[in-house]
Amino acid sequence: MSSECWKCGDTAVIHRKYEGKSWCSEHFQEQFESLVKDTVRENDLFENDDRVCVALSGGMDSSALLLFLVELFEDWKNAELIALTVDEGIENYRDESIEIAKELCDDLGVELHIASFKEEFGKSLDEIMEDKDYGCTYCGVLRRWILNKKSRELDADKVATAHNLDDELQSVFMNYLKGDMKRMVRLGAKPAVIDDEKFVPRVKPFRETPEKEIALYGRLRDLELHQTECPYVEDSLRFDVRDFLNEMERKRPSTKFTALRAFDKLLPVLEEKFSEEDPSIRSCEECGEITSGDVCKACQFRKEI
Ligand SMILES: [Zn+2]
Ligand SMILES: [Zn+2]
């Protein structure tokens, strides 16, 4: 392994096995940013006059995404950025990351909005979990519900999330293992999920970027690291898949990129076959958000808690 930058000969901060090259801090950052810009351009993630809401958790991935987009939009005079943090109400875990989110938005001059489970559902996640262990799936449903509702209220044209290459590929394999083809077609950098004015489209600029490289980029850009893991984390299938993919990548560098590219070739075919124009899409009787039944999942769950 070479410890010198392939481009300038300075001390390398990373060796990318998948391309057989090492990079110094400056050239790694340049590479990183240009790769994400490629993802943005090739997938037409943004329009010139978009108002984009960044889903900011205070974790490294979303902090790096906000920083990247602030710099990208410097040249896009009519584009706007805001940030939205969902406070699930998890003591010692979420509090710290919200502080990080606030500081970052202060530094970058981005307007931050905070929406909470307590306000929207009457209970924090800690209180919900006290009654019964509902697990990550429910929390995810509630979080997505808030994200959509709030970003629409904030007039956002799009929600940008920090899903990276590892997240995306794990989801591909998980859906495959579960045989969930409908969920499979909801993946992609700019998923064509629901064509409804109530739905704020989601985009994933980091979709082709490895998690490790985002962490390195964040460190090199002096972003604060919040390392604690959510105490309720439980998705064991995701962890199994993650370990499997990491092992494959270790043995056969560039496996992850190859697998994602293969999926991207399949996606249009899958979309044609599995994404039905759902005629049953309508407004939830309880909250008015979009749903495919009479009452949306978040409201069903809200009744339960
Ligand atoms: Zn260099
Ligand atoms: Zn509802």
Q: Which ligand is nearest to the CA of 289?
A: 2
CATH architecture entry for 43-280 = 3-Layer(aba) Sandwich (3.40)
Q: Which residues contact 291 (CB under 8 A, 6 or more apart)?
A: 281, 282, 283, 284, 297
Interval between CA 7 and ligand 1 midpoint (Å): 5
pLDDT in tens, 67-92: 999 999 998 889 999 999 999 888 87
In this prediction, what percent of the chain has a pLDDT beyond 90?
A: 60
Interval between CA 291 and ligand 2 midpoint (Å): 7
Reference 160, options 84, 94, 271, 60; nearest CA is 84
Q: Which of 44-53, 183-192, 275-284 has the lowest mean pLDDT?
A: 275-284
Interval between CA 302 and ligand 2 midpoint (Å): 9
- What are the sequence ranges of the domains in the chain? 1-35, 43-280
Q: How confident is the model at residue 2 (pLDDT cuts 50, 70, 90)?
A: low
* CA separation for the pair 149, 142 (Å, rounded): 11
- Does 36 have pLDDT greater than 60? yes
Segment 34-60 shows an average pLDDT of 95
Helix (H) or strand (E) holding 116: strand 111-116
pLDDT in tens, 85-143: 999 888 877 888 899 999 999 999 999 999 999 998 888 888 888 877 777 777 888 88
- Does 279 have pLDDT greater than 60? no
- Of 45 and 196, the structure prediction assigns the larger pLDDT to 45
Predicted structure pTM score: 0.92
- Of 185 and 163, the structure prediction assigns the larger pLDDT to 163
145 beta partners = none
Q: Which ligand is nearest to the CA of 285?
A: 2
Q: How confident is the model at residue 198 (pLDDT cuts 50, 70, 90)?
A: confident
Interval between CA 2 and ligand 1 midpoint (Å): 13
Q: Which ligand is nearest to the CA of 198?
A: 2
Q: Which ligand is nearest to the CA of 29?
A: 1
Do the Cβ atoms of 245 and 166 come closer than 8 Å? Answer: yes
- Of 50 and 182, the structure prediction assigns the larger pLDDT to 50
Q: What is the DSSP string of 172-199?
A: HHHHHHHT-HHHHTT-SSS------TTS
Interval between CA 10 and ligand 1 midpoint (Å): 5
Per-residue tokens: 197: 């004015």
Residue 280: per-residue pLDDT: 61
